[in-house]
Amino acid sequence: MCGAPVTRRGQLGTVEPTVVLTIGATDSSGGSALQADMRTLAALRMHAACVVTAVLSRNTRGTSDVYAQPTTVVAAQLGSVLEDLPVAAVKTGMFPTAEAVVAVAARARTGALPNLVVDPVLTTRSGSRRGLIAAFERLLPHAVVVTPDREEASALLGWEVVTPADMAGAAAQLAAGGAQYVVVTGGDFVAGGEAIDVLWADGAARMLHSPRITSRNIDGSGPTFATAIAARLAAGDPPPDAVAWAKGFVGRAIGDAAEWRIGSGAGPIDQFGWSALTLR
């Protein structure tokens, strides 16, 4: 499961891990959000820096409360990281307010967020959806890859995305807004026993197929997918290759955790390949 370490040569000749910055909420259950991002980066042997946008009171059954960080705090965290750490890629997740999105978009506009991957999380608890969607329109043009699921694509575009053909149209429309690559994930859409995502790249839609894995434990699969893409971009992969690699990584992580019973709802996935280990 774990990839080879992606490193760079430090000032004193030492080998150092690549730095990837993730921006999003914390999850008290440990399954999703920043916790999933940081587990993914650790599994891929990269150094994770983070900016906390919100604190979620959450377990495997759902989210009961959201505490939004003030936008000034979000901006201060972001500034502190960027002025010091050699960030090679950035991934964004949940923003509680439109103002927080706009603050990050302002830094992206200056070119300060390399290899930006945007997972446009849109929840009913994330402030006004209309305001968030308008704010994301300012962030998406600076992204190398955007990773909405069908529900998020529907909200961003204002029409219902259901079938793979819809997903291809949605990806094309989002790419027309400025994002270099868009992958609309199918979520629970299954055709012929396969899970299908659709990548818009180089002016055409590509269907990405993988075997459907049955598991209640899928918490964190979306954040893990976007973070793995950012990690592979930081390693120098072309975006289509990064997307394909991340899809395989998430599929294995879901399958490896299929028998876990952590909590009574949708549990976490296994980014580290723990299920393949024999513990003594």
3-state secondary structure the chain: CCCCCCEEECCCCCEEECEEEEEEEEECCCCCHHHHHHHHHHHCCCEEEEEEEEEEEEECCEEEEEEECCHHHHHHHHHHHHCCCCEEEEEECCCCCHHHHHHHHHHHHCCCCCCEEECCCCCCCCCCHHHHHHHHHHHHHHCCEECCEHHHHHHHHCCCCCCHHHHHHHHHHHHHCCCCEEEEECCCCEECCEEEEEEEECCEEEEEEEECCCCCCCECHHHHHHHHHHHHHHCCCCHHHHHHHHHHHHHHHHHHCCCCCCCCCCCECCCCCHHHCCCC
Measure the CA–CA gap between 79 and 221, rounded to whole angstroms.
28
**pLDDT > 90? residue 54:** yes
Cβ-proximal residues to 184 (8 Å cutoff; 6+ apart), any chain: 148, 149, 150, 153, 161, 167, 168, 170, 171, 174, 197, 198, 200
pTM over 0.75: yes
Residue 192 is predicted with a pLDDT of 64
Reply yes or no on whether the pLDDT at 179 is more than 60. Answer: yes
pLDDT digit string (tens) for 235-263?
Answer: 999 999 999 999 999 999 999 999 999 99
Instruction: Tell me how long the chain is.
Output: 280
**Domain-located, residue 43:** yes
Cα–Cα distance, 126 to 147 (Å, whole number)? 18
| C-beta separation of 22 from 37 below 8 A | yes
User: What CATH number corresponds to the domain at position 50?
Assistant: 3.40.1190.20
Using pLDDT thresholds of 50, 70 and 90, give the confidence band for residue 277. Answer: low
Please indicate, yes or no, if residue 107 is contained in any of the structural domains.
yes
Q: Which amino acid is at 276?
A: A
Q: How confident is the model over 80-93, as a mean pLDDT? A: 98
| Alpha carbon distance 244, 255 (integer Å) | 17
**What does pLDDT average to over the chain?**
91
Lowest mean pLDDT among 126-130, 157-161, 169-173, 276-280: 276-280
Residue 20 lies in a domain: yes
With respect to residue 193, please indicate whether it lies within any of the assigned structural domains: yes
pLDDT of residue 236: 97
User: With 80 as the cut, is the pLDDT of residue 278 above it?
Assistant: no
Residue 5 has what pLDDT? 46
Q: Does residue 61 form part of some domain?
A: yes
Identify the domain containing residue 102 by its residue range: 14-257
Percent of the chain topping pLDDT 70:
89
pLDDT at 26 over 50: yes
Count: domains in the chain: 1
The answer to whether residue 213 sits within a structural domain is yes
Res 1: pLDDT:
47
Q: Does any domain span residue 168?
A: yes
Mean pLDDT of 157-182: 95
Give the model's pLDDT for residue 195: 85
Residue 83: predicted pLDDT: 98
| Lowest mean pLDDT, pick from 121-135, 149-163, 195-209, 246-260 | 121-135
98-145 pLDDT tens trace = 999 999 999 999 999 999 999 999 865 555 788 999 999 999 999 999
Asked if residue 186 belongs to a domain, the reply is yes
Q: Residue 211: pLDDT band by 50, 70, 90 thresholds? A: confident
